Amino acid sequence: MTHVLRRLVLMLLVLWAIASILFLMFRLMPGDPTTAYIDPTFTAEQRQVVLHQFGLDLPLWRQYAIYIGNLLHGELGLSFRYRAPVAGLILNVLPNTLLLTLTALVIAYIFGALGGALLAMKRGTWVEAVTIPLVLATRAAPEFWLGMLLLAVFAFAFGWFPSGGAVTAGAAFPSALARVTSADFAHHLVLPAATLAIYLQGLPLLLMRANMLEVMQEEFITMARMKGFGEWSIMLRHAARNALLPLVTAFALGFGASVGGNVVVETVFSWPGIGRMLVDAVASSDYPLAQGAFLLIAAVLVVMNAVADMLYGVLDPRVAHAAG
């Protein structure tokens, strides 16, 4: 229990540090949110009004105190640009990003785990010689290139999938839930999720393969062989289950990282997600929105880190023992 509590306090400390760094970072960055208002009729007095509205005319320490105070109440503030609560803006696009990320991760990790196990079995064969460079190449290929390639082939040339967006023009849905569970949404999800999955599959695949190779040297595998189990049974029931553990950690961390890291895929496929919103917010010096989005990403990462840790303990009692 104390372990969990300590962990929680630590997480809060990390988040506080991140929030503070974010606050300072955006205020030290050159640029000024009022530059978005520059217009022939914009005057020095109007600029002061805007600065006052944004609270930017207050001393830095007071701005910081208000910011932290709001955070403690769960308030992320008002976006400078959208003039709307940051939380609402983020919540509006978060489901799109989560669905994209989760779909891609699940595909990438299932494919990676199976592929990695298979490659470990085929060690030293021509299958390995062909597949490993291919995996490395897709892992190294820039996402936008991959995305454009998929677009050119499956959207422009074959016309199987739409060229962007999350739903068809003019499509109407009774609710947000109906929208993200519709066939139309799924149809639009295919290409961006595939791009992201192709980009992500390299890590689990190579990780799985390396783990398998390691596990296969263990005595219990030799033992199983001596017992006369079939090769497939040994691989899947004995080796793969043990080799899967590090993948769980990688999945949790990968999820945390890709919630905010989909800027490129979101831009290429005009996917209304949080990564795109984040980049826009930074570019327009929308401090509250950028801070809120970054903080959310950090929180997801920190939480997923903790989840990975705990899952690891559950899946592998040896680790839980050591931690306790």
Partner 1 sequence: MTHVSRRVFLAGAAAVVSAASPRAADPGDRIRKLVMLSAPQSNDPQEFQAAQLLAQAWRQLGLEIEVRPLPRPQLADIVWNQRDKWDMSMWRMVGRPERSDPDELVYSLFHSSTANGGYDFVTYINKDYDRAAESERQEIDPRKRQVFMYQAQDIIDRDQPYIFLVFPKNTFAYSSKVWKPESMVEQSGIGIRCFWTFVRAEPASAQKDMIVNAAEPLVALNPLYIGGAVDSWMTELVWDRLMRVGPDGLPVPWSASRAEWTDATTLDLALRPGQTWHDGEKVTIDDVLFSLQAPANGNFSPMYKPFVANIAEVTATGEDTVRIKLKTPNAGFLTASLAKLNLVPKHIWGPLMDSQMAKGQSAEQYQEPKPIGSGPFRMVSFNLQDQVVLEANEKHWAAPKMARWILRVVTNNDAALGMLQRGEINFLTDYRGDPKVLVDMAKQDAAIQVVSTTDMGFRFLAPNGRRPPFNDPTFRRALSSATNRQMLAAAAWNGFAIPANSMVAPSLTFWAKPGINDLKVDMGEAKKLLTDAGYTVVDGHLHYPPGVKETLTGS
Q: Catalog residues that contact partner 1 under the rule CB under 8 A.
A: 30-32, 35-47, 49-50, 53, 78, 81-84, 92-93, 148, 151, 155-156, 159, 162-167, 169-170, 172, 266-270, 272, 276-277, 280, 283-285
Cβ at position 299, least distance to partner 1 in Å: 21
- Looking up tokens 């496929």 gives 269
Q: Least CB distance from residue 20 to partner 1, whole Å?
A: 23
Indicate the residue among 73 and 83 with the shorter CB distance to partner 1. Answer: 83
In the bound state with partner 1, the residue whose beta carbon lies nearer, of 13 and 176, is: 176
Q: Which is nearer to partner 1, 76 or 166 (CB)?
A: 166
Q: How far is the CB of 105 from partner 1 (least distance, A)?
A: 22
Does residue 294 come out as left (phi exceeding 0), alpha (psi in the -120 to 50 range) or beta?
A: alpha
Taking the complex as a whole, how short is the minimal distance between the CB of residue 106 and partner 1, in angstroms? 24
Nearer to partner 1, 83 or 227 (CB): 83
β-partners of residue 85 are 78
Cα gap 169→313, rounded to integer Å: 47
Q: How far is the CB of 178 from partner 1 (least distance, A)?
A: 13
Residue 109 or 287: the one with the smaller Cβ distance to partner 1 is 287
Question: Least distance to partner 1 from the beta carbon of 201, Å?
Answer: 23
The residue (of 89 and 224) whose beta carbon lies closer to partner 1 is 89
CB of 174 to partner 1, least distance (A): 11
C-alpha dist (Å) from residue 93 to 98, 144, 204: 9, 21, 27
The smaller minimum CB distance to partner 1, of residues 16 and 145, is found at 145
Q: By C-alpha distance, which of 198, 202, 206 is closest to 143?
A: 198
Least separation in angstroms between residue 195's CB and partner 1 is: 12
Alpha carbons 311 and 203: distance in angstroms, whole number: 19
Decide if 256 contacts 305 (C-beta within 8 A): yes
Dist CA 55 CA 65 (whole Å)? 12
The DSSP element (H or E) to which 5 belongs, if any, is helix 2-28
Q: How far apart are CA 255 and CA 217, in angstroms?
A: 31
The per-residue b/e assignment along 192-216, b for 16 or more CB within 10 angstroms, e otherwise, is: bbbbbbbbbbbbbbbbbbebbbebb
Task: Tell me if 279 sits within 8 A of 76, measured CB to CB.
Answer: no
Find residue 143's DSSP bridge partners. none
Residues 15 and 20: their CA atoms lie apart, in Å, by 9
Sign of CA dihedral 18, 24, 28, 31: positive
Q: How far is the CB of 87 from partner 1 (least distance, A)?
A: 14
62 vs 123, which CB is nearer to partner 1? 62
Residue 75 or 280 having the CB closest to partner 1: 280
Backbone angles phi, psi at 78, to 5 degrees: -100, 135
User: Do 96 and 275 meet the contact criterion of CB atoms below 8 Å apart?
Assistant: no
